[in-house]
Each structure stands twice: as structure tokens, then as C-alpha cells.
Amino acid sequence: MTLPLTQQDRALVRALGQGLPLVPRPFAVLAERLGRSEADVLARLREWRQSGILRRLSAYVRHRREGYQANGMVVWDVADGAIAAAGARLAASPKVSHCYARVRTESFPYRLYAMVHGRTRDEVQAEAARLSCEAGLGEFRILFSTRELKRSDPPLFAEEEGL
């Protein structure tokens, strides 16, 4: 799954991490910074978008400030064979931002994880119950977040900064 990226491509990944400039032709500005052409940068980004390396280019809303105060990590124990179908049901909810299957351990015996966001805890609770029912899943736990201790951008190719 790993694609070899050129040093130029890695610089493009880093540049995009800093955000798109708010100007009429933002990709031209990025391209100029990187010594590439606008067409070249756009072609590469479309390629990455197609292959899934670039998941999305979009605005990152400060959701807590905007009223989405409650955030719960909802977890279920699910048999391996049921993960794909249940996961697809969970993924369809607009209130679910992330959904993963993870390794199960004895001290935390769950397989399926969904991050559910809401304006209130009740909203998260209700959505978790609704999803659980709709996806044919049984018991669940909600781990509400009580404090954000760190949040930062992934350090993609950060060690090459300035090369």
C-alpha cells in the first residue's frame, strides 16, 4: 500500500499540512513555493485523491466552539465476520466521524470503535443506542471525553523540513 514519494511530493504533503492559502488560485501559490507548476501540483493531488492517499482537502471546524460539545468513543464487541456489515451501518451516520475495527484485548474486550459527536451527551447516547440497534449490535460502552490534553497535526515528513 505504500507508494514511494519523491522528495518534491513529500514537500507538497508538508506544505498542504499548513493549510491552503485563501486566495483565488491557492494551488498556484503552493506550486510557486515548491518550484512546481500549478498544473503539476493539481495533477498530483488529483492522483492522490483518487488513490486515497489524500483523503480530503477541507475546512477543519472548531467543533467544540461551534456547539458540538459532547464526544464519545462508542465501542462494541463484535465477531470478526460481522465487522464489515456493522461498520458500514455505523459509517453511514453523519454523527460518526471515525470508525475502526481494532485488536481486542482481555482488559479491553471490544473490536469496533466509533467516534460519535453531538451537542449534548444525551444526543451522543441516543445516537449510540440507535446505531447499536440499527446495526444489530448488542451491548455497548460510551467513553465520553472529559478533557482534551493534546491535539496536533500528524508530523508527516516533518524531519525533512528545510531540506
Partner 1 sequence: MGRGGGRAGPRPPIRGERAAGRAAGTHTDSLGDAPGRMDTTDRNLINRLQDEIPLVERPFAAIGEALGLSEGEVLARTQALAAAGTFRRLGASFDARQLGYVTTLVAVRVAADRIEAVAGFLRHFPDVTHNYEREHEFNLWFTLVSRNQARVEAILGELHQQFPEAEILNLPATRSLKTRVFFDMTRP
By CB under 8 A, residue 163 contacts partner 1: no
By CB under 8 A, residue 161 contacts partner 1: no
Measure the CA–CA gap between 126 and 114, rounded to whole angstroms: 14
By CB under 8 A, residue 79 contacts partner 1: no
By CB under 8 A, residue 133 contacts partner 1: no
Instruction: Please list every residue from 31 through 50 that binds partner 1, using CB under 8 A.
Output: 38, 42, 45-46, 48-49
Q: How far is CA 116 from CA 34, 45, 88, in A?
A: 38, 30, 15
Measure the CA–CA gap between 153 and 136, rounded to whole angstroms: 35
By CB under 8 A, residue 147 contacts partner 1: yes
Q: Which C-beta is closer to partner 1: that of 39 or that of 133? A: 39
To 10 degrees, the CA torsion angle through 22, 151, 128, 139?
150
Instruction: Please list every residue from 104 through 123 that binds partner 1, using CB under 8 A.
Output: 105, 107-108, 113-114, 117
Q: Are 97 and 38 in contact (CB under 8 A)?
A: no
By CB under 8 A, residue 94 contacts partner 1: yes
Instruction: Please list every residue from 58 through 77 that binds partner 1, using CB under 8 A.
Output: 58-63, 65-68, 71, 73
* 149-153: long-range contacts, CB 8 A cutoff, minimum separation 24: 153/17
Q: Which C-beta is closer to partner 1: that of 48 or that of 132? A: 48
Residue carrying C-alpha cell 514537500: 11
By CB under 8 A, residue 87 contacts partner 1: yes
By CB under 8 A, residue 148 contacts partner 1: yes
Q: Which C-beta is closer to partner 1: that of 36 or that of 117? A: 117
Q: Which C-beta is closer to partner 1: that of 59 or that of 79? A: 59
DSSP letter at 104 equals -
Q: Are 151 and 133 in contact (CB under 8 A)?
A: no
DSSP letter at 160 equals G
By CB under 8 A, residue 8 contacts partner 1: no
